[in-house]
Amino acid sequence: MQQLGRRPGPVDADVETFKGRYDWFVVAPTQDGQNRICTKEDFQELLRGDILTGRLRANSAVRVYSKKGAAWEESTPLLRVFAREHSKLQALYEPLWARAVTGRDWGMLVGMGLAILNAIGIYSRLNRLVAIGLAVSVLASFIPGFVRKMTPYIFSFSLVMGGTGVAIGILGAVTLLAGLGAVSGMAIGGAIGWTWEDKLPRAPDAPEPAHGAIQSVLLPLIGALLLWSVYLFVLYPWAVHTVGSPLTHWRTLSQP
């Protein structure tokens, strides 16, 4: 029987064995006529090593098996297409764009986190049920498995407890800061990738990248400057005029 992460002979005879043990795995044919079989836990590291050594080619097809309920689905994307969905592999074909996308994702998470933490601080005095619900949703997001899957429901329940006005305010703040964080993070990630592009590992047969410095650095930077300008000179002054200065609000909350 094949060993996980090794390159065995004919793979079809052992596919059923892997189906009985895992709910997702990928089979990648190597240049020496063998196969690499990987699961969710190790496929990026294992395929990355084979790509860098030239054992796996960009235009070779991989077989992806995923379990949906009781049925199995099989797809055969090209390796370079499959790599677009996985950051460590994408970085070998488009290192600049991959780091811009990674920066975007982290920036979005940081922006959303700051908005939620700010809401927890405010509603810890105004509506403790809302604050507790938001805090629980944040903690749940760090616990893998079933608890993490419950995070959106806990977050939604917190908004329901606060009413329509609270829900709109928190969702608006989360959306706004997520957008600001995403475009800012993308610009930062793209700039880091652009600075180190020549020193980053790259697949020997990587095709010409579809996204260059313009899409990865320049456009996100322009977008970040525009969005932050709108926020600082339009949205923030409007919020201060409508609900008062946040500093004054926090000073009032801190008073016994």
Three-state DSSP class for residue 64:
strand
Amino acid residing at 148:
R
> Which amino acid would we find at residue 105?
D
Distance CA 129, CA 138 (A): 14
pLDDT tens for 144-201 read: 888 888 888 888 888 888 888 888 888 888 999 999 999 999 999 999 988 887 788 8
Q: Hunting for tokens 């699961």 — which residue is that?
A: 39
Q: Per the confidence metrics, is the pTM higher than 0.85?
A: no
Query: What are the extents of the domains in the chain?
Result: 12-89, 94-254
3-class DSSP state of 49: helix
**Spans of the chain below 70 pLDDT:** 1-13, 241-256
